[in-house]
Amino acid sequence: MAAKILAVAGKGGVGKTSLAAAMVKVLVSAFPEKKILAIDADPAVGLSTALGLETEVTVDDIRREVVDQAKRGDAAGAIELLGEARYRIFDALVEQDGFSFIAIGRPEAAGCYCKINGYLKEVIGILSGNFDYIVIDGEAGIEQINRRVMEKVTHLLLVTDSSRKGTQVVQTIKKVADELVMYEDAGVIFNRLPNLETASYMDVGDLPVLARIPDDAALAEFDLKGENVFYLPEDAPIVRGIREALEKIHILS
C-alpha cells in the first residue's frame, strides 16, 4: 500500500510532540508487522526525548557538510556528496523496536543554498517511500506546510489547546493546506483541556473534532522527566485520545 503520512501541526505549546510520540506508540501496537517512521521536523528535536532515544546525526548535519564543501570551493566534493545523499541519509536513521526515527535538525539560514536544501528535502520523500506509516512532528505554525517534507501528507492532525490563538492557528493551517497539500483527511485534536466542557466553547470552523483530551498531570510529569511515552499506560488520556483520533481518520478500524 502507499504510505500513510500523518503530520501533527499547530501553534507552539499545545502538546504536539507528546501527541506525535503517542501516535507512534499506538501505531506500533496496532501494526507490529508494518514499517513505521517517526520524523522530527521540529528544530527543538523534542520527539526523540519523548520516544526515549538519542539523536546523533540529523538531516541538517548532512546538508551542512555539503554546504561547507561548497563554501570551501570544493564543487566536485559537494556534487559527490549530493550524489551519495540518498544513501548517506540512512546514517541519520535511528532504529528502534517497531519503528525508525529521523530528525530534520535546525532550520536553514535565510538565503542559504536553497537548491541543495531542496535536494535533501527530496531525499526525505525518497526515504518515506520505504515505510507504511510516517508520523511527522512539525514545528509550530504554518511554515512547514510550504516545505517539501510536508507536501505528501495524507492525514493532517491539527492540535489546539483551549486558547483563542490555538483555535485560530489550526484554522489558518487548514486554509493553507487546502491550497498546498493533497491530503486525504484532516481534523483537530483538542488537547490539554482544563475540563471537557470547555470544548463546547471552542470554535474551529468546519474542522471535524477527532478527540478531546483533558489536561493530564501524569503526562506533565512524564514530560518533565523526559520519559519514554511507550511506558504510558494504555488508559492514559493521551493514548486513548490518539486512538480515537486515528479511528476517526480511518487509520485504525
Question: How far, in Å, CA of 155 to CA of 224, rounded?
Answer: 29
Do 50 and 228 meet the contact criterion of CB atoms below 8 Å apart?
A: yes
Question: How far, in Å, CA of 119 to CA of 232, rounded?
Answer: 38
Environment class of 7 (CB within 10 Å of its CB; exposed 0-12, middle 13-18, buried 19+): buried
In this structure, what C-alpha cell is assigned to residue 200?
463546547
Q: Indicate the pTM of the whole model.
A: 0.88
- The pLDDT of residue 112 is above 50: no
Write down the pLDDT at residue 59. Answer: 76
Kindly report the average pLDDT of the chain as a whole number: 84
Share of the chain above pLDDT 90, in %: 50
How wide is the angle at C-alpha 124 spanned by C-alphas 180 and 242, nearest 5°? Answer: 70
What domains sit in the chain, N to C, each tagged with a CATH number?
4-248 (3.40.50.300)
Binned at pLDDT 50, 70 and 90, residue 223 comes out as confident
- The pLDDT of residue 114 is above 60: no
Question: How far, in Å, CA of 207 to CA of 182, rounded?
Answer: 16
- The pLDDT of residue 155 is above 60: yes
User: DSSP string of 150-179?
Assistant: HHT-SEEEEEE-SSHHHHHHHHHHHHHHHH
Binned at pLDDT 50, 70 and 90, residue 104 comes out as confident
